[in-house]
Each structure stands twice: as C-alpha cells, then as structure tokens.
Structure 1
Amino acid sequence: LARLAQGYYAASAALPESLGMALLSSPVVVWFTGTVMAKTQDRHTLAYLHDQHQRYFSAFDHRRVLVESYRASIRGTVLDVADRLALPVLLVAGAQDELGSVAGQERLARRIREVSPRVRLEVFDGVGHLIHYERAPETAGVMRDFLRTD
C-alpha cells in the first residue's frame, strides 16, 4: 500500500497541473483509499468515514504543497527523533495497518522508553490505519486514561 501511495503522488506530481489536481482530488481515489484502509464492516462507520474523506481529503489549494507534504511524511519518522522525546508518550496503532506495523511501533516505544519517563503502546486488533474513525470511543478512552495517569 505504501508503494501504491508513492506511485500515486509521483504520478500526480508528474502530470500537467490540471490532470495532477484531478487525480489528487478524484472522488473515486478518495473512496478507494478509505475502503482499502478501513477494516470495519460496520456500515455506519464506513459511511461516516467516506463522508469525511470526500468532504476534506480534497480540500487543498496547491498540488505542490500536498505532494511536498506527502514526500516529507515518508522521508522522516518520529523514530528519527525518538531519543529526544523525554516526555510522556502514548502510541496508538492498528494491528492491521498497511502503512505501519506493530513491530515498528514496538521498536519506536523501546527507543522512546530510553529517555521518556512514561511510554505506552496501545494496539487495537481488527483496525488498520484509520483508528480515529473505526475505534474513536476506545481511542478517546485510552487517551483519557493516559492523561490521568501520573
């Protein structure tokens, strides 16, 4: 999935401006990406997810900025600065996330733990990259619990 995303953004950047913008804001592509990343079968959650993606994923002004943002997001990761995160850190991951991995999150937690007073990794089974849609109440609960803990 990550390679597919790289190809998508590379093609969007290489095309003439109008075609690149059309590809980046295509409702079909936006629907497809949400469908691929979602793991839930709950039709209400899927409907909400697709509604939000259709409303907001194409709300950008300049193709260049969006493509540069994507490139920046894959060039570096929080792992690059993990040894400087000397603060409490909560990591929330989906066990079936195609854009990340549980092993990667565990590695990150270990690195942060070297300097942080408190690190917690919460992994939700049956969820991919869209935890904030598929497990919103549970994620909020984990965040509340983490913030309450001294």
Structure 2
Amino acid sequence: MTAVVPSAEARASVESVATVDGAELHYWTYYPAPRVGVEAPTLVMVHGFRGTHQGLELIAGNLPEFRVVSPDLPGFGLSPPMPALPHDVSGYAKVIADLIRQVSAGPVVLLGHSFGSIVAARIAAFEPELVSSLVLVNPLATPVPANGGPGRLGLRFASAYYRAAVAMPPRAGRFLLASKAFTLSMSAAMAVTRDRELRKDIHRRHLLHFSDFHDRAVLLQAFTAIASCGVCDYAADIHARTLLIAGDRDRMAPLAGARWLLPRLADGRLRTIDGVGHLVHYEKPAAAAALIRDFLATS
C-alpha cells in the first residue's frame, strides 16, 4: 500500500506573509483541532534545498495536535529572494529565527529536513532560547561528501552544472535547471520505494515544486552552502534535546553520518526508518510523525 495519507495531506492551512529583514516571507499555519484547556505546541518546519513548504505537508498532516508553521524559504516557492542577506545557512537562519519570534511567544519545536537541518541546527546553537526541542530529518551531518555521501566527483559535477546554468543566458540557464529530465533524474535518485504508485506521486510532486525557485544565483548560493557545511559545525553548541530521523537507504545523507553525529550532541536520539532514503517526508511521513510524537512526549 502507498504511504501517502490523503486525509493528512488535506489538513487545512492558512497562508500568511511576514516581513523579515526587508524580505517578504510566505508561510502556512496548520491549526490543530481545539482542545479545551490545552494549548497546542508550535512546530516550525524548515524545508530542504529546492523544496517548498509543500514538501513537509504530509508530516504536518500526521501531527494534527500541533500548530505547525511552515514557510517557503526566501528564493523558493512564493517567498522572493532576500534583498539584504546572503542565501546561505546564516541568512536563512536569521530569517527563520525572526519568523519564530513573530509567530510564537515562547520557544518552539524546530524541525529541519536535509538542508533545512543545517539551518535549524544553527538556530538551536546560536539562539537556544527560541528552541525547546530540535528534530532533524535526513540530516546533513557533515559537509558533502563526507561520511559516505555523494562522492567528490559527483559534487564537482553538480557544482559545475549549477555554475554553468548561472553563466548562461537567463532562458537557457533556467531551462537547464528546471528541465523535466533533470528533475526526474534527481527524483529517481532520491526515491527508493518500490511502491509504483508512491514513486509516481513523488515524481509528480517534484515536477510541480522542484523548480519553484526565483533566481539562479540564489540556487547556486544555497547549493554552495550545502557543500561547505553541515550540522556538525553547530553540534557542540546545541543543548536542546535533539531527534535525528534517518533513512537506512539514504544516499544523500547516509545513516553513517547520523551515527557519527549522535555522540557529538549533548542530548541526542537517533531513530532509523527502514526501507527509506532521503525522502522520509514523502515515503514514510506517518512513521516520521510517530517518532516525533514519541520523542516530544518524553521531553
């Protein structure tokens, strides 16, 4: 059976726009069903490279007891690029930290997927008062290609690919980055499920949203950040309880990296989901949500 949960995906959300450091940030709030006398905890989600908030909607749908806030990072989805900050880990961390201050009166549960895991880790390290618990899904534990990630040859090829696209005339460069062939090749590399219907749904989602970027230069800045840093750069300064959720077949952020990272966290837990790769949020969202719920119940 497919792992997609239609009822969870259909969870209603409200779009809002915040002005953060001069940037227009679009974010979506998934409100929980009201429970008398109970204040719903706030969970802020940070999506990965070339993603949008929609990539994490299945996990949000499987956590109906939470108030979930999920933005499109600047330069992706509906959020335009930042006029004054770099589109790297520090720039994105500043914007998300300021968003947290606007949407919550106290610390939040902060979740980051893939590239978003580095952004979330930086916030937890440098602004710990904003984070009650940290959840890193498919975490990029170390700079690519350390700890078994994509090899240096692959990294050099990808870097050349993005740089060439930026150097091309706008129309040609955009076509290179957003082509259907490239999108489907990346989707196939990340999806490991043998469920044909689920693979088809993952490819559909990537075709819809993988190229929702505003600017080729923004894309190159974000890619360069992925290649130059990891959660490890902030691990020593993270004191919040941290849950690492890893896929045992993840080729982009291998399980070995998460295992290496775990003892470097002051209070970390590692949970592995079998038979899944770098797309935990698509392939096993209900399982990921259950792990998050159990982790927070023991906080």
Pairwise same-fold verdict (TM > 0.5) = yes
- What corresponds to 2:276 in structure 1? 127
1:19 pairs with 2:158 = no
- What corresponds to 2:213 in structure 1? 60
Superposition deviation, residue 8 in structure 1:
2.9
Take 1:12 and 1:124, find their aligned partners in 2: how far apart are those partners?
36
TM-score by length of 2: 0.46
Superposition deviation, residue 130 in structure 1:
0.9
Which of these residues, 69, 81, 93, is aligned with residue 234 of structure 2? 81
Q: Given residue 126 of structure 1, which amino acid in structure 2 is its aligned partner? A: G
1:39 pairs with 2:167 = no
Take 1:121 and 1:12, find their aligned partners in 2: how far apart are those partners?
38
- What corresponds to 2:298 in structure 1? 149
User: Is the helix fraction higher in 1 or 2?
Assistant: 1
Take 1:96 and 1:14, find their aligned partners in 2: how far apart are those partners?
35
Q: How many pairs were matched up?
A: 146
Take 1:63 and 1:33, find their aligned partners in 2: how far apart are those partners?
18
Superposition map of 1:98-113 within 5 A: 98-112=251-265
Superposition deviation, residue 128 in structure 1:
1.3
Take 1:9 and 1:144, find their aligned partners in 2: how far apart are those partners?
38
Superposition deviation, residue 69 in structure 1:
0.9
Superposition deviation, residue 63 in structure 1:
0.6
RMSD (Å) for aligned C-alpha atoms: 1.6
8 A contact 2:273–2:287 mirrored in 1: no
Take 2:159 and 2:279, find their aligned partners in 1: how far apart are those partners?
19
Deviation track 1:29-67 (CA, whole Å, cap 9, x = no partner) reads: 111111111110112211221111111111111110111
User: Is the strand fraction higher in 1 or 2?
Assistant: 2
- What corresponds to 1:95 in structure 2? 248
List gaps (5 residues or longer) in structure 1: none
Q: Given residue 273 of structure 2, which amino acid in structure 1 is its aligned partner? A: F
TM-score by length of 1: 0.89
List gaps (5 residues or longer) in structure 2: 1-149
Take 2:286 and 2:279, find their aligned partners in 1: how far apart are those partners?
13
Q: 1:7 to 1:129 in 2, by over 3 A?
A: farther
